Amino acid sequence: MNLEGKRILVTGGTGSLGQAVVRRLLTDEMGRPSKVIVFSRDEAKQHYMRLSYLNRQVATDEIIYRNFQEVLSFRIGDVRDYQSVLQAMREADMVIHAAALKQVPSCEYFPFQAVQTNVIGAHNIVRTIRENDTPVKVVVGISTDKACKPINVMGMTKALQERIFVEANMGRPGAHFICVRYGNVIASRGSVVPLFLDQIARGGPVTITLKQMTRFLLSLDQAVDTVFAAVRHAQPGEIYVPQVPAARIVDVAEVLINGRDISITYTGIRPGEKIHEIMVSEEECYRTIERDGYYVITPMLPELRAIPIEQPALSEEYSSANVTINHAGLRELLLYFAEQPVGGQQ
């Protein structure tokens, strides 16, 4: 799908992923949109995001700066509020739904808040399309590895979001609902690397929950790559999953400490936390294919599956415990991530 002339609504557009999506949209790599709408409830973040683009006037940012002036707009609203979702979607051809409550412990302490944002928010998008004559043709739901075999509130609500979007394809043939699912984004707000770097700068200790804990690792640009791959090629109801490495969190800490006299303290598992994350479950393996370097989970609903899968892409669950890399590989990966732009920054 080419985005030339399209109007794109990015919910949660001031978050780490939302800002990265907006930045990439403004590069015209998938065609020049006619409008990119940042939709979020945080007025301050919108203000600072706008200021960050006003400061982009060096030669390498020429296209982004021009598109910021001509294409980018900001709208204050909340995905929990049906009327604000309706008003925003009347101006959009495509929705990238990145708005979420994503901090696992916070969702455990405030579960209904997570339901309202992660579940009701998704339902409001589907309801808007079903009950109104909106121009939206594609909705991309941003999910998480925690939605796979969920044990915490955040994962449960994201699993429901996936199911809401998959089922939505049954009642609205004119609009395609697709999802992407990925793991820990390096350098995003609340991720371990910024936390560890801050603790190291203060002289330690670096705090880790469990020594054996593993996580998938990818950059913000890899996350956006997954979104764009789904936009280009996903069929209704499919879930795109990137093929990325994983690491023990203690190894991440040790590589960042790099031999300095800084201690590591183990604090115990946090409310709702998993020891290992899974991006494709054993049950999902049987309906997972590979397409252009991504795993693609085909819909559970048989009405949405075009053809039977004779040779699944996976024979066992895609778990962070099974694809861990060593210190050398991790050091190289972190150096690569350090060179990548973060959110709305270059």
Active site residues per annotation: 146
Q: Which of 141, 47, 157 shows the shortest CA–CA distance to 98?
A: 141
Query: Rounded to whole angstroms, what are the CA distances from 295 to 17, 57, 140?
Result: 20, 39, 16
Mapping DSSP to helix (H, G, I), strand (E, B) and coil, where does residue 279 land? strand
Q: Can you say how many angstroms the Cα of residue 205 is from the centroid of all Cα atoms in its chain?
A: 30
Q: Are 88 and 71 in contact (CB under 8 A)?
A: no
Residue found by looking up tokens 């960050």 in the block: 52
Q: Can you say how many angstroms the Cα of residue 199 is from the centroid of all Cα atoms in its chain?
A: 26
Structure token digits, residue 151: 């044990």
Q: Are 252 and 194 in contact (CB under 8 A)?
A: no
Residue 253 φ/ψ, nearest 5 degrees: -60, -45
In 3-state terms the chain splits into helix, strand, coil percentages (rounded to 5) of 40, 20, 40
Give the count of beta carbons closer than 10 Å to the beta carbon of residue 235: 16
